Amino acid sequence: MIRGKFITLEGGEGVGKTTNLEFIKDHLQQHNIPVVVTREPGGTYLAEKIRCLLLDADSEALSEQAELLLMFAARSQHIKHVIEPALARGNWVLCDRFTDATYAYQGGGRNMKVSTIEWLENLVQGALRPDLTLLLDAPVEIGIERARKRGAFDRFESEKTSFFERVRRAYLLQLELHPERIKLVKANQPLIDVQRAIVDAMRVLLR
């Protein structure tokens, strides 16, 4: 059986990932491609429990190391029980965030060592990397304004603007480091233009 493709959707707060995740799923299904939609942190029963710990703004304060290790613990479960089995069945996997988010939020936002993240990435993922990453990018102030309209903030959304500026810079650095895999989509334009850019970026996988 032909192995499926792995697509990840990345970006800071309020860039429209949820809306465009649904659009991408529908686009793939129109091409008769079986697709599994999932998210990080999360995707399995245990990983969703870890997600709750990570996002709960009212819980015990997490150390930076604990946050990073919990992210990769959830990812390990997710890969073993959802991502790899789906790809092996020939399904395409569409994931809301993956390891680029760890480089952005923990590496950029928390100023953690990139070498530590790289070590954990290799330990947990082995050779697994996305076939395509769509990076939705918008100025931080636009994303925060959009996110505020959603209501209550989780632990990450409660961070200061400077945190999200570092996150955005780290995402753009990932783009520079992996231009063959990561494709930039400007999210501060009309939705129809955003989705047109997404379709263009996906053509290489649909040939």
pLDDT in tens, 8-32: 999 998 898 989 999 999 999 999 9
Query: Considering the entire predicted model, what is its pTM?
Result: 0.94
Give the architecture (CATH level 2) of 6-206: 3-Layer(aba) Sandwich (3.40)
Instruction: Record the tokens describing residue 2, joined without a space.
Output: 């032909």
Grouping H, G, I as helix, E, B as strand and the rest as coil, residue 81 is helix
Give long-range contacts, CB 8 A cutoff, 24+ apart: 158-163: 158/57, 159/109, 163/109
CA-to-CA distance for 12 and 17, rounded, in angstroms? 9
Question: How do residues 86-135 score in pLDDT, each as one tens digit?
Answer: 999 999 999 999 999 999 999 999 999 999 999 999 999 999 999 999 99
| Domain ranges, ordered by start, for the chain | 6-206
